[in-house]
Structure 1
Amino acid sequence: MKSLKTYSIPFTGLKLGKHLFEYAITDAFFDEFEYSLVKKANLQCTVELDKQETMLILDFKITGSIDLTCDKCLSPYPQPLDIHEQQIAKFADEEIDEDEEIITLKKNDFEINVAGLIYEYVTVAVPFFTRCNDEGNTPYCDKEMLDRLKQLEGGSETNNEQHDPRWDALKKFK
């Protein structure tokens, strides 16, 4: 977790207005999170911090690609990402329970760590079903695996019905 200190932005010494911070997000970043969905990444993150008297407005822009495994052909492929998010951090004495999207900063806080936010934004951007963009036609797609799946898909049902008499007995209950 010591390597995540580089993602801390000390805001106390900054003047009011906009400030730009850039980070390279690589495999080492995701190694810090134990059960990360993402293992390999080549991302660029730009954080624009707008410091105001009562709050900080953080605009995130994350672009690049992460390596995922296709759910269909099981081959690794690069998934492009283009993420734009905004986070508000308010200065307050007490926690604000009204909205979970607002971070509360105490008077003693002098920096904000954006590593958790970056990790969250990238993890949420991972598709639920990961698939190669153009099945069978991309250099990443495993054509042998797709052919084998098609072969098993068509032949398994007919073979089970013909060779297993238990299914015939169960069909009588309909």
Structure 2
Amino acid sequence: MKPLKAFTIPFVGLKVGEHHFEYDIKQSFFEHFEYEEFNNSNLKVDLILNKKSTLLELNFKTSGTVNVNCDLTNEPYDQEIENNFDLVVKFGEEYNDENIDILIIPHGEYEINIQQYIYELIVLAVPNKLIHPGVEDGTLDSEILNKLEELSPKTAEYKENQEEIDPRWNTLKKLLTDK
């Protein structure tokens, strides 16, 4: 996958100290990764890069909304997400990203690409189960919800059916409880 230039930070020319970067993440960013779970996205990523003499500290914070489909009704809605992530970049003999929050890059490197970290930060912030807020508070009117309600067993009808059971079974049930 070709790295996006907007997410490449040339840190070699930066002074020691904190540097702020802001990124607006739209749907085209996820299309680059061929990720099709979002209908649309409107996210903001704030990055604070703290350059020190021997390492870099990166603090990612993301917030915004992604438009996704509800798992129950398949109705699209905007899911709010918020997440943060800290990454330490050290210099070593060879590239090593085996540790989650430590990245080791070769001594001669002069820039770092952060697109993969932003992508993972956003995708992992989305809840596993996506439920439309209208389903939870009962305000969503959907054909699928109406059909589910129609096909679900009614508690009053269920109790009436229980009362219509042959009385001989009730006496057998007493045998179980009369011990």
TM-score bucket (shorter structure): 0.7 to 0.9
Q: Quick check: 1:42 aligned with 2:37?
A: no
Tell me, yes or no, if the aligned pair for 2:97 and 2:103 is still in contact at 8 Å: no
C-alpha RMSD of the superposition: 2.4
- 1:15-45 deviation per Cα after TM superposition (whole angstroms, max 9, x unaligned): 0000001110001111101244334210011
Q: Could you tell me which residue of structure 2 aligns to residue 25 of structure 1?
A: 25
Corresponding residue pairs, total: 155
TM-score, length of structure 2 as denominator length: 0.77
- Of all paired residues, the percent bearing the same amino acid is 36
Tell me, yes or no, if the aligned pair for 2:96 and 2:105 is still in contact at 8 Å: no
Q: SS state of the match for residue 29, structure 1?
A: helix
Q: SS state of the match for residue 147, structure 2?
A: helix
Question: Higher Cα Rg: structure 1 or 2?
Answer: 2
Q: SS state of the match for residue 12, structure 1?
A: helix
**Which whole-Å CA distance do the structure 1 matches of 2:69 and 2:82 have between them?**
19
Unaligned residue ranges in structure 2 (runs of 5+): 159-179
**Which whole-Å CA distance do the structure 2 matches of 1:10 and 1:97 have between them?**
19
Q: Could you tell me which residue of structure 1 aligns to residue 145 of structure 2?
A: 146
**Which whole-Å CA distance do the structure 2 matches of 1:7 and 1:97 have between them?**
18
Runs of 4+ in structure 1 displaced over 6 angstroms?
none
Unaligned residue ranges in structure 1 (runs of 5+): 159-174
Tell me, yes or no, if the aligned pair for 1:30 and 1:39 is still in contact at 8 Å: no
Evaluate the alpha carbon distance shift between residue 149 and residue 111 of structure 1 in structure 2; reply closer, same or farther with a 3 A threshold: same
Q: Could you tell me which residue of structure 1 aligns to residue 161 of structure 2?
A: none
Q: Could you tell me which residue of structure 2 aligns to residue 99 of structure 1?
A: 99
Q: SS state of the match for residue 118, structure 1?
A: helix
